[in-house]
Amino acid sequence: MNASITTARRSALITGGAGFIGCNLAKRLADQGTPVVVFDNLSRPGVERNLELLREQYPGKVEIVIGDVRSSQQLRPLVRRASAVYHFAAQVAVTTSLADPRHDFEVNAQGTLNLLEALRELPKPPPLLYTSTNKVYGAASDVRLREAESRYVPTQSRVALRGISERRALDFHSPYGCSKGCADQYVRDYARSFGLPAVVFRMSCIYGPHQMGNEDQGWVAHFLIRTLRGQPITLYGDGKQVRDVLFVDDLTDAMVRVTDRAHELSGRAFNVGGGTSNTVSLLELLELIRSMTGERCVVNFQPTRVGDQRYYVSNVGKLSAAIGWRPTTSVKDGVQRLANWLSRFGTGVSMPARAQVSL
């Protein structure tokens, strides 16, 4: 813990704050003068680097507390002095949830309930933003698709033009989908039943600096790292699956805007992603990386996994109307910025000199 920050000072609390999104948000808030408490159990490999960066760049502005959301006793004193709460702490992989559903539930569902109860005890709870997932909509197997050369394309013009909206019925798939969906609904109901100023983000694929991507989560960074290391990549399915990707700076902008209006927006859930203007298939991303780096990776194909979606693109119209927000970073620019960051900051990869550009 950073002893230079007194316990009396109100701070933004970020659970899972040493992770990819948490680190980026902590930097954003500290840069604008907001004190930050990062709460993390350091279970994800590589996040120690993010903590080192926060310590070095923001002495006296960012406090680091090592702990676990499964402990109510650890959460309560931090919640009592929070000016806002960003709840990112989670078990994040579908594969891990299939291997150990109980652990997945305890972290994602029970951990969120612990946080909600800590907030409910307060006479004036601070705003809460919870990051849910598009997996609450299930495999979306009813979305009719046609197969193009490098991607799947919706046959319904409404979906093709706008993406999938919050009107879609919830359909939890996999233990991960169930635990995140359970927490999603608890956050919304605590807003209704107990008046907590709480908002839910159902997020698509986020990428950017500080992402330690692997096969199960953070696939944009994972593809870049594997390609630049000359290592093969495994694709589950045919690689034509389509996602909307959102650069992390655009996400943190939306997060700050929403928490500023949390009392007005309380109880609402928003789909958050790059939208229809920032879509890419797995095969198309690999080709984009090849064009940037000159490196072509070896691809191994495996069967589709449980709960995988062939097509998911967020309709971000509801969030845009609520806070006047739209993504501003294109897929090409965002991937280049991530590639340059990976090359600069000791991740064991290097970009060819001709592929490094300033954006």
Q: Which residues are catalytic?
A: 176
Pairwise CA distance, residues 212 & 183, whole Å: 24
* CA 286 centroid distance within chain: 21
Asked whether the beta carbons of 349 and 224 are under 8 A apart, the reply is yes
End-to-end Cα distance, the chain: 35
What is the rounded CA–CA span in Å between residue 202 and residue 164? Answer: 11
Q: Residues 6 or more apart from 353 whose CB is under 8 A from it? A: none
Distance of alpha carbon 13 from alpha carbon 89, whole angstroms: 11
Q: Which two tokens stand for residue 322?
A: 């609520």
> Are 42 and 66 within 8 A, CB to CB?
yes
